[in-house]
Amino acid sequence: MKMERKIVDITKLNFDRFCRCIMLAQGEFSAFLKADERETSEILEQITNSNIYREIGKRVYQEAKDKKSEIEKLEYLLDIAKPLSDKIRPQYEDSIDRLIRDIKLYTID
């Protein structure tokens, strides 16, 4: 039990996943491939530390979604508003332009 805990502490993999990784490194692909798709993905993410890219992707997606929502709100306000004063309208338009530039930073075409 103490050894299993040490393995988890060092590798960040539970005992079963650690064994699968060891088998994979020793060329025993069949055991690794027999694991379900979700488990193999999680193991590979942990081994390569690629989960950080998934987290970055989630944050970027959420940020772009928030910016788009903010644009929609501003555009709605521009559409329903009585003619805006010459002082206020440029402020709204500048906000929309800024948000569009921000979205382009978060969007991959």
End-to-end CA distance of the chain: 50
Q: Answer whether residue 69 shows pLDDT above 90.
A: yes
Domain parsing of the chain, residue ranges: 2-48, 54-106
The answer to whether 65 touches 71, Cβ cutoff 8 Å, is no
Q: Answer whether residue 28 shows pLDDT above 60.
A: no
pLDDT of residue 27: 59
As to burial, measured by CB atoms within 10 angstroms (0-12 exposed, 13-18 middle, 19+ buried), residue 82 is exposed
Average pLDDT, the chain: 79
pLDDT of residue 30: 66
SS3 107: coil
Residues 6+ apart with CB under 8 A from 70: 95, 99
